[in-house]
Every structure is written in structure tokens, then in C-alpha cells.
Structure 1
Amino acid sequence: RLADRIPLSQLKRFNAIPIRENDLSVTVAFMDPLNIEAQEALQRLFPRKPIDIAIATEKQIQTYLFKIELKDSVKELVINIRNELNSLGKDQKHDQAQASSILLLIDVILKACIKNRASDIHIEPTENNCTVRARVDGKLSEIFIFDKDIYPPLASRLKILANLDIAERRKPQDGRFSAKVGEREFDFRFSTLPIMYGESIVMRVLDKEKALIRLEDAGMDEVGYKKLHTALKSPFGIILVTGPTGSGKTTTLYGALNELRSVEDKVITVEDPVEYRMNLIQQVQVHANVGLSFADALRSILRQDPDKIMIGEIRDHETLEIAIKAALTGHLVLSTLHTNDAISAIPRMIDMGIEPYLISGSLVAIQAQRLIRKICPFCKTEEHIPLSVIEPYKHFLPHDMVFYKGKGCRECNGVGYMGREMISEVLPISEELGSMIARGASKEELVEQARKEGFEPMFANGMKKVVNGTTTLEEILRVAKV
């Protein structure tokens, strides 16, 4: 490795990174290409080859140096872990989770994954090794590969942090722990699953700052935000957020709670699990193993004199029935449902055994949403798309449309995307729509009426993000349906 031939301290001091070497020269990128002292110092390390100068931003250099430092730290820690394990006698192997270097390795893993903006961390044993992968912007990428002897102490120590039974490897376990990573505090939702070569471990990263997100900062366009904001001002009724797993529904609910919480109102949530802890809100954790289901918790909540209720997810008829009754008796209820679009939530509730007239009388608004990846701002470039591809969507696009894509760079790990944003469709239930629901109108009739009232489907909302250069046409076609 070219970087191994230059001391890391010098690279940090001069804000420089070596890029490539050939038979004639060595190319080094500097933040300051006019720093003669830096050039001369690095030239002395390559006496037989001249240095070619390139330019890089401070962020690019710091990201690269962080990765070098990370790899060096991991190599050293793995050696230390092996030495510590070897120093234990055969009858002391149960103490392997206490090896001090294991804690340092966990710290490195968490730092690396959070630096990469991971939403989930996967630690998976295989026949020959142990892989650590991070889900970034909805896609998994490999961060580390360790030899398989590192996995047992790593898994045991993580289970201790999550307050789980380290001896139980035959059935799944769930837990939670908090850790300071860098200067910030994070919560980690922890899950194990027995697999062929050990236990698959998944940690959901819960950034406490995200609990303070505002709806207008989540990527909602102005029209959709106003519709949802108006619905949240309703004195009673039910508001549903729909979408598949991982579409940001919980984040939207927390954003709505931020708008609702007040010393004048009693706001209670029932969640499985409680992801973010919030002030001025009473949060109930579902515990199925002791008989506290969503429905059981809701019945008790209604005796607590609430003004507003948030239900993490409506999973069955009983929970939906109690939620509808709560909405009809003067409470504002927020919850989520698994449907592909907003209008599909209505037939879904009917399928779950709720009478149409009850839905009509209680439903205030439905928001369906997805998360799309945003083009990396560091490698954003114009893209030519053939007319044959654009043709089916040209009525969404201006005539002089310029398309963009990310060509891939170090900042985005070569993916071309960085960060995610919401696309959504918001359906307020008007008097006419309510009447149609009560008399059992079909989904097609409801869609037609919604469009008359100015309803914008999610695909159209997504195409606006293509037009303004936020994302690519390919990404919208991957996520949303015309």
C-alpha cells in the first residue's frame, strides 16, 4: 500500500494523501498545492521519483486519512485480542468477552459505521470469517472482514452491553444499549438470530438528534406539508402514515409529535420498541411476553385522560378497532399501516374488519411515503438519458430538462448518492371523500375524486425531485410506481 510508505503523522501534518505511483512518478494530493515545505518533506521519502501535485479538499483528505487510521487500529486490536485470548487458560474462556481490546474494537466498529452514516450495522459469522456490513442510504456495504476467531468474544461482549444472556445461542434475543460515539450519544437497538455458523447480529442506530426532526426538514414539499400540518390541527380523528418497512414512517410520526407536544396536552405513545425518548410525552413500550400488546396498552391509555395518542403500528383488527373508537370519542390518533399508497389504506382497513361508516367518520388524512437517495453533491454531473427512456414520463418533465447523476467519488464510496429524502402523497379526507367511503365506493372512484380535489400521487412528487436535480430518474423508477 502506497500510504504505508509515508508516516500517518506527516500526512496529517501536511494535509496530503498519496494517490498513485507509476514507473516515473508518485502523485500526491495536497489541500494546499503551494505548500513547498510539505512537497519537499514528502519528496525526501521518494528520492528516485518526482512528486506530481494534485489538489483535494480538506474533507476528502480527512476522510481518506480516517480510513487509513481505522485499518491500522483494527490490525493492532486484532493482534491484541488474540494475545489476550491466548493468555486465558482453557477454563477461563468464558472471560473472553472481558478482553479489554474487544471494547476498543467495538468502539472502532461503531465509529466507522456511524462515520459512513449507517442506519443499521450487521455482524455476520460465516464458515471462515466474520463480516461487518453497514446499511447506508438503504444499501448494505462491507466495512470490515475479521477472521472467525474474533467473532465469539465480539458477539459475547455486544450481548453483555445489550444486557442479554451470552450463553443463549439457540433462540433470538432483543435488547438495547447506549454508547457515546465521538462527541455524541447514540442508542442501539440490538437483535440476534441463530444461524448456521453462530448468531447474526443487527444493531439499529438510533440518533437521538433525529427525534427532534421537524416535518419541513424531512424533505416534504410545501403543499404536502401544509396538508399534513392542517390535519394535525384537527381536534380528533385518525391520521395514518403508510409505506413499507424502512420508508421513514416512524421518523414522520416523531416529527408530527414534535409539532403536537405541549404542556397543555397529554400525549401518550405506544411503541414496539420505543425508538426515541421525548420530553412532555408519555411513552409506553409493548411487552408481548408479559401480555402487554398494542391493544392492551391502548385500553389502558384511554383511561389516562389523553388528548393525543400515537400508535407505533396497527397490526390487527383489535388495535385498529380501539384506535377508531378513540378517534371517534374526541382523541387525535396517529399511527402507521403497511400499504403501498395512501388510498389503499381505506380498503385495507375494511379488509381488517372495520365498517366503512366508522372509517368515514374518523379518518382525517393519510400520508404514503418512501425514501429516495439524493445525488452526491461532490460528484454531481449532467447525464444524458435516451429519448426512448424519457418518453413515458415526458408529461412530468419540462422541454429543456437537464438530468443529473453522481458519477461516484470517495465522499459517497463510489455509489453516486449521499443521504436520503422523503417523497410522499398526502390525502386529506374531504366531506365528499368521506361520503364516498361511507357508501362503499371503489378504490378507482376514490382515486378519481381525490385527483379532482388536487391530490398529487407519490410518483409525481418524486418527479419534482428529478426536475430540481435532487435525485435521478433511475432512483424514482426504483422506488415509486407510476
Structure 2
Amino acid sequence: MKRVYPRAQAALRAVSRHEFVAGSDLAPSITGHSIPREETVRHLLSLMPEIEPDQRLVHVGGGSGYLTAVLAELAHTVVYVERNPVVAEAAKARFARLGMHNIEVMTVDAEAGLPALEGDLVLCTTFLKNLKGLLPALRDRGRLVCLEGRAGPVPSLAMFENRGGTLARSQTLGWVDFNRNAEQILIDLGLVDDTLLSAARAEAAQTNARVLDVVRKRLNLEEVGLYQDLARQRGMVFREADEVLTGLQPGLFRRFSRTFLDLSRLIPITEVNGRITVITDDPDARTDQLERLTPNSTIECVLVTPTDFRRIWSALDLTAQGKQFVEDHADPVTAPAAQASLGDKSDSRQVAPYLVSVYEAILLDAVSEKASDIHIEQYGERVRVRLRVDGELHDLSRYQLTPRELRGVINVIKLRAELNIAEHRLPQGGRSQLKLGDALYDLRIQTQPSLHGEHVVIRLLPQTGRAMTIAELGMSKAIGARYQRLLDNPAGLVLVVGPTGSGKSTTLYAGLQTLADDGRRKVITVEDPIEYSIDNIQQTRVRADIGFGFADAMRAFVREDPDVILVGEIRDQETALEAIRASQTGHVVLSTLHCNDAVDSLQRLYDLGVHPNSIAGELLAVIAQRLAKRICLHCRQPAEPEPGILAELFPDGAPANFRCYEGQGCEHCNGRGTQGRVAIVEYMEVNSDIRNAISSQPPIGELRWRALDAGLVTMRDSALDHVIEGVIPLSELPRILPRERMAPEVRGGRRRSE
């Protein structure tokens, strides 16, 4: 590298690069060319002819303005040229704030041509197809310094001269690397500072991890969004696994050493007309070694997330192993799989590594799509693998397993869950764990014999040490505040009710997480099973095999000085009575019941043999809930209400200002229009009126009328609030509300009964 002349050194010291990045609202749009590193600017100035104090310069591709500001310290006047008006206005504001009054800002597309600017020198740090458009900006004998060659990792810098209206090439000045590594990009995006980055480097060295992974974990950054930003900054294409998986070329993958590909963090996926496309999860990955291995091909590098990188590697690996599995297990004569006996033990031998890879790939797909359950089923000769995402099942069609392969996969699942692989006639339940990077998942396994073979359902429960807080549940602020207040009571019973899969445990765990964060109260739980592990909460599992049930745990807990006790579920009279006794002895008791709504829970307690006066005295509140799909925030748009649903909701006519929304479908939600779910709650707080009603034990219909008069927040009201606010689509209401609850309920039960 040439030595930088003293005035250039002084200019670099005078301008802080930090001023052009920190706090910038341009973070998603800045690139290495628009905000070059200080080392890059120093190298650039060493290659260029020395800038004199009386010169007029034109900088094309000014970006954030950092390089322009350095040039302004050297020249009399600098004209900043940028085609993006938003970027140009932000740079202009920076120049004014820093008192740089010798910079003229011009918003124009240089590709279309520049006006007469009488520049002594034009510096172009962006790639232009038409250099002649820059000619009018140069005076006669003025010089143009610009990038040339392909817009690759390290372009060359060339100099031209205006000789009587013609650009004459003078010389090639050298190479200029505008690329920034991932760490520099994180700083430029405002995600980290030098202190955090140093700590992340130390942790990465200690744990043998990548710095980028450590930073993402520390800041709890969303993986896809982070890698999209990194791809934009590096000038790379970003793809998600679903876009890539359909076009993989397994033969290309097998041409290269797996050790080389693993160390390089590269996977070749397609080769078309001499162009090899590779994917990587490392923004700083180098392809030069791969280029030397394939001298007659050009390499296109695409960025994916680490999770998708593992999925794609797994898919290619499975193809190779599957081919070998078929060759190794090809029988001259094979009996139809549908005729195999359920008690057949022929598949209980050691399973092939290929089948282990199949199971792990299915788990990886489930984690990637944020699935709650995996369903593996057989129907005759057809094997079906499905994921439950946001409450709905959809097929993983790329797993075309044979019945024989399915039996091998089920053996892998049973072995991992410590189940009996020789038992095919009875249902079995077990559990295992999945560790994926820093994430840990608890897997609940249930096998079920069926007509054609065994089916398996796997529930995935992330174990993060934290649950959602009440604020993150999506409840209305009013109900969230009431729920928070319930936890502060000195004693009483709080029930969360609803059918299986309605999110009852998630709501209870949100309360536990709030208590754990507060840290002033001791919380003990008894669960079957423990769904989420929460730091600072004492959690206990029911052990029916040794006679330790919910009621036994409750009797023991009251002697351990707890403030709050969670009972996973009230299933029988003994547990219900112990929950009431714990409440009577000065504890807040949280639990769940399986019933349809808040008022039905009272009838359920009556049926369990709890005395009405005990219920009236100890019950604080009941939260009944269902889960509804959230509208995707990235593609939400106003929608036309469906007339049939409106007629059910508003028999007397819908309000004139009624509005609703829907998701159009986009890449963020895989075209579904919804992403995630939210609890729709019915909230009944037990006041004196409801206590009197509970004690008198009226018919359930009358009890509901009294609850409505006493301020019951119905599920219909909660659902409509979410519809109007654009949280859930109107089409969700018939799915979560029975027909008789779609219309407004009549309040004032006494008048109605008359």
C-alpha cells in the first residue's frame, strides 16, 4: 500500500466515521460502498492523485456522506451526488450538523448523466454502466477516478482524463476492497458497540462458537431479519430454505469433500450453464478455494440462516444416505408392508444411520417452522409427515418414506424416548430432548397402533428458562392488569379453563414468569408433565408410578412456606379439595380445568364435590380462553367483512364504522396470511354478587346471566376487540365461538326469566 500524504491523514483524523453511522435511520440501506471502512478510505486516498486545497471535486455515490466529508477536508468544494433522495437528505443534515458548508448536495441518477459542474476531479464509488454520463461534470483535462470490472468482492480503481470532450484512459490505480466483515456490519447497524463485541469475541473463543452466533443469542435477535440485513449489507442474495429445497442437485453436493464444505461453510446446490450456486450461513465466507476447484465455472454465493443451512445440508445428506439405504436393503422378493403383523419384531434390529438422519431432519424442519407438534402416520402404502403450525396441520411432502423406512424411523424415535421397540400393539408415551445450537427442546412422544401400522405424535416444547410474560400474551391491557393484580393477592384460587390445546398452560406460565422476575415470593409447582422450565421457580413432576399425585404434592407443599402454588390440572375431587384447603391456609393457588367457559367451570367444581360455599369463599377469578390465529403484520390489509359472519355477530345490523383486516400472504408467513396465535379470553372476576350466586347454586344458565350483570368480559367481546384492532381475522370467530355465543348475550337475567 502506498503511503498516505500528511493532509489526507489529517482529514481522516478530522472526520469521525461514527458520526455517519451511529443512530442512523439508514441502517438497513447502507452498504460497504456508501459507508466504507476507515482503512478503505485511507487506501483509496493513497491510490488517487493528491487532492489540492483549491480543487472542486464531485463524489458520485455519496451514500452516508462519510467519504464525501473526508474529501471536503482536502478540497475547496465537494459536490455530493446520490440518487436516493432519502439517503441524500440524511447526509445533508449530517453535513449541516457538523458545520461542513463546502459540500453541495445533489440528488440525481448519474447513470442518466450529470450537469456541467466544472469539477477538477470526479470520484465515482458506485458501479455505472455509462461513464460518458459523468463527462459533463469534468472540466477539460479534469480527471475521473472510478470503479471498473465486475461488481465482485474486490473491484479495481481506474483513472480517466477529459481530453477535449473524450474520456481517455490514463491508468489502473489498484484494487479497493469495500467489503465489511459481519462484525463491522453489526456495529454499523447500531446493534453492538466495541465493548459488547469484545465480550462476544471472548465468549466465542471460550465456547468455540462464532461471534455472530454469540451476539445473536445475547441480543435475542430474530434470525431471519438479522441475516436479511447482513445479506443486504454484503450485497448478497438472501434465500429461505423453502425456496432452495425444491431445486437441489444432490449429485453436485457429492462432488466435493464434506470436510472441505463444512470448514468453508458452503453447500453447492445447483449448477446451470457453468454457474454454480452455493449457500452459506457465514456472511464472511470465501469462495476463492471453491473457484480454484472449479476453474471453468463462476460461483454465486447466497446467504441463508444457520437453521436453514442445517436443513439444506440434512436434505442433501439424506438423499445420499437414502440411495445407499435402498441399495443395501433391496430384497429380491418383498412382502407387502400392509400385510405385516403388528407384532412383527423384524424391525427391532439396529437401525440404519440414514433413518436417524431422517428423524433428525424432520425435527429440524419442525423447529425451523416453529411447529408445536409432529404427526407421522401411515395409510396403507402411503406415509404422511405433518407439522402443526399455528394450530393447523400441513404436510411435509418432501419426505417420501416407504412403510419399511417408517418402521425404522419409529424405532429410532422409540430408542431415543426409551420406549419398547418390540411393542407395537399398545400405545406408549415417553420423552427425549433435542439440542439445536444453543436451543434445547423437550420432546413428548406418543405412539399409537392403528390399522396399517404405528402412528407417532411428537410435541416440541422449547426449554429456554423463560416463559412469556403477561405483557407478551396479547391480552387486552385491562385484563392483563387484572391478571397481574390476582397474583398479588394474599390467598385465593385462580382458574384458567378451556379445551386441550387452548393455551391454558402458557397463560399460567406467563403469571409464573412475572412472579419469577419479581423474585419476592416463593412459587412451587406440581405438573404432569413439566412443560416449560422456568428459572427461580421450584417445579415438581407428578410420579404416578410411585404414588405421588397432585393431591399428595399439595399436602406436602403447604408445609414448605410457599406464597404461590401451581397445580397443573384439577382432575379429581381429592385434588380440588386440596387446592381449596391450600387457598384457605393463605396461599394463592393457580390451576387449570377442562371446560368450555368461565361459568361452566363452576359447574365442574360442583360436579367434583366441592361445597358451593368453599368455591364462593376462595375463588378469585376464572380465565377461559381459546387460541386464534394472528394476522401477519407484514401483509395485513383492510378486508371486506363476510356477510354471513356479520349477520351472526350483529342480528340487528353491524355498526356503520365496523372494520376488519386480513393477511394477504407473504414470504414472512409462507403465504398463509397469519403468523402465530393469540389467546381470546373470557374473564370472570368473582365479586360479592357472583359469590352470592355461587353459594345459592342456581341453574348454570341463571348463573351466567348473573355473571353478565356483574361484569363478565365475554369471549365475544374480546374477539371483536382483536378483530377491530387488526390482530385476528374475522374468519376466526366462528372457529372459536359457538353459534349461540356469536350474537350479543342478553344481560339482566331476572327480566328474561320472567
Shorter chain as denominator, the TM-score bin is: 0.7 to 0.9
Asked if residue 459 in structure 1 is aligned to residue 716 in structure 2, the reply is: yes
In structure 2, give the amino acid aligned to 1:127: G
Identify if the C-alpha distance between structure 1 residues 295 and 14 changes in structure 2 by more than 3 Å, giving closer, same or farther.
Answer: closer
Q: Which moved more, 1:202-211 or 1:388-397?
A: 388-397
Matched ranges for 1:21-170 at <5 A: 72-83=316-327, 94-97=348-351, 99-143=352-396, 144-170=399-425
Distance 1:279 1:407 in 2: 39
Aligned to 2:131: none
Task: Give the structure with higher Rg (CA).
Answer: 2
Asked if residue 288 in structure 1 is aligned to residue 288 in structure 2, the reply is: no
Cα pair 1:412 1:418 within 8 Å, conserved: yes
Partner-residue secondary structure (3-state), 2:350: helix
Aligned to 1:360: 616
Aligned to 2:687: 430
Identify if the C-alpha distance between structure 1 residues 295 and 386 changes in structure 2 by more than 3 Å, giving closer, same or farther.
Answer: closer
Number of residue equivalences: 436
Q: CA deviation at 1:95?
A: 4.2
Distance 1:132 1:111 in 2: 13
In structure 2, give the amino acid aligned to 1:252: T
Identify if the C-alpha distance between structure 1 residues 389 and 245 changes in structure 2 by more than 3 Å, giving closer, same or farther.
Answer: closer
Matched ranges for 1:180-195 at <5 A: 180-195=435-450
Identify if the C-alpha distance between structure 1 residues 69 and 381 changes in structure 2 by more than 3 Å, giving closer, same or farther.
Answer: farther
Mark the runs of 5 or more structure 2 residues left unpaired by the alignment.
1-234, 247-270, 276-301, 332-344, 742-754
Asked if residue 347 in structure 1 is aligned to residue 603 in structure 2, the reply is: yes
Task: Find 1:385's aligned residue among 641, 647, 666.
Answer: 641
Q: CA deviation at 1:368?
A: 0.5
Identify if the C-alpha distance between structure 1 residues 67 and 100 changes in structure 2 by more than 3 Å, giving closer, same or farther.
Answer: closer
Q: CA deviation at 1:413?
A: 3.9
In structure 2, give the amino acid aligned to 1:77: Q
Partner-residue secondary structure (3-state), 1:476: helix
Q: CA deviation at 1:334?
A: 0.5
* Deviation readout 1:358-378 (Å, 9 max, x if unpaired): 101110111011110012334
Partner-residue secondary structure (3-state), 2:401: strand
Q: CA deviation at 1:228?
A: 1.2
Identify if the C-alpha distance between structure 1 residues 419 and 66 changes in structure 2 by more than 3 Å, giving closer, same or farther.
Answer: farther
Partner-residue secondary structure (3-state), 2:598: coil
Aligned to 1:235: 490
Q: CA deviation at 1:236?
A: 0.8
Distance 2:684 2:611 in 1: 20
Cα pair 1:110 1:181 within 8 Å, conserved: no
In structure 1, give the amino acid aligned to 2:623: Q
* Deviation readout 1:107-151 (Å, 9 max, x if unpaired): 211111121221001112332142211111111111133111211
Q: Which moved more, 1:110-119 or 1:431-440?
A: 431-440
Q: Which moved more, 1:326-335 or 1:378-387?
A: 378-387
Distance 2:676 2:689 in 1: 39
Q: TM-score, normalised by structure 1?
A: 0.81
Distance 1:204 1:343 in 2: 30
Cα pair 2:385 2:395 within 8 Å, conserved: yes
Q: Which moved more, 1:333-342 or 1:446-455?
A: 446-455
Query: What percent identity do the matched residue pairs reach?
Result: 34
* Deviation readout 1:162-200 (Å, 9 max, x if unpaired): 122222222222111111225422111111122223321
Q: CA deviation at 1:293?
A: 2.3
Aligned to 1:48: none
Asked if residue 402 in structure 1 is aligned to residue 659 in structure 2, the reply is: yes
Distance 2:611 2:348 in 1: 58
Distance 1:326 1:242 in 2: 20
Aligned to 1:214: 469
Q: CA deviation at 1:201?
A: 1.1
Q: CA deviation at 1:263?
A: 5.3
Matched ranges for 1:244-393 at <5 A: 244-261=499-516, 264-387=520-643, 389-393=645-649
Distance 1:104 1:71 in 2: 9
* Deviation readout 1:364-402 (Å, 9 max, x if unpaired): 111011110012334434332354542443489652333
In structure 1, give the amino acid aligned to 2:707: A
Identify if the C-alpha distance between structure 1 residues 396 and 350 changes in structure 2 by more than 3 Å, giving closer, same or farther.
Answer: farther
Q: Which moved more, 1:275-284 or 1:455-464?
A: 275-284
Q: CA deviation at 1:447?
A: 3.2
In structure 1, give the amino acid aligned to 2:708: R
In structure 1, give the amino acid aligned to 2:443: F
Distance 2:496 2:623 in 1: 5
Point out which structure has higher relative CO (alpha carbons under 8 A, 6+ apart): 1
* Deviation readout 1:307-342 (Å, 9 max, x if unpaired): 321111111111111111111111111000111111
* Deviation readout 1:215-249 (Å, 9 max, x if unpaired): 11011111111111111111111100000100000
Identify if the C-alpha distance between structure 1 residues 433 and 93 changes in structure 2 by more than 3 Å, giving closer, same or farther.
Answer: closer
* Deviation readout 1:50-93 (Å, 9 max, x if unpaired): xxxxxxxx999999999877654443332244356569xxx996
Distance 1:159 1:74 in 2: 20
* Deviation readout 1:250-293 (Å, 9 max, x if unpaired): 11111111122365543221111111222332222222233222
Q: CA deviation at 1:102?
A: 2.6
Task: Find 1:416's aligned residue among 673, 687, 706.
Answer: 673
Cα pair 1:123 1:133 within 8 Å, conserved: yes
Distance 1:396 1:330 in 2: 50
Distance 1:200 1:163 in 2: 17
In structure 1, give the amino acid aligned to 2:400: I
Q: TM-score, normalised by structure 2?
A: 0.53
Distance 1:215 1:84 in 2: 54
Aligned to 2:733: 476
Cα pair 2:348 2:422 within 8 Å, conserved: no
Cα pair 2:663 2:673 within 8 Å, conserved: yes
Cα pair 1:369 1:424 within 8 Å, conserved: yes
Cα pair 1:270 1:312 within 8 Å, conserved: yes
For the aligned residue pairs, the C-alpha RMSD in angstroms reads 3.3
Q: Which moved more, 1:444-453 or 1:179-188?
A: 444-453
Cα pair 1:403 1:472 within 8 Å, conserved: yes
Cα pair 1:407 1:416 within 8 Å, conserved: yes
In structure 1, give the amino acid aligned to 2:383: C
Aligned to 1:51: none
Cα pair 1:60 1:411 within 8 Å, conserved: no
In structure 1, give the amino acid aligned to 2:353: S
Aligned to 1:24: none
Identify if the C-alpha distance between structure 1 residues 377 and 77 changes in structure 2 by more than 3 Å, giving closer, same or farther.
Answer: farther
Partner-residue secondary structure (3-state), 1:234: coil
Identify if the C-alpha distance between structure 1 residues 84 and 185 changes in structure 2 by more than 3 Å, giving closer, same or farther.
Answer: farther
Aligned to 2:232: none
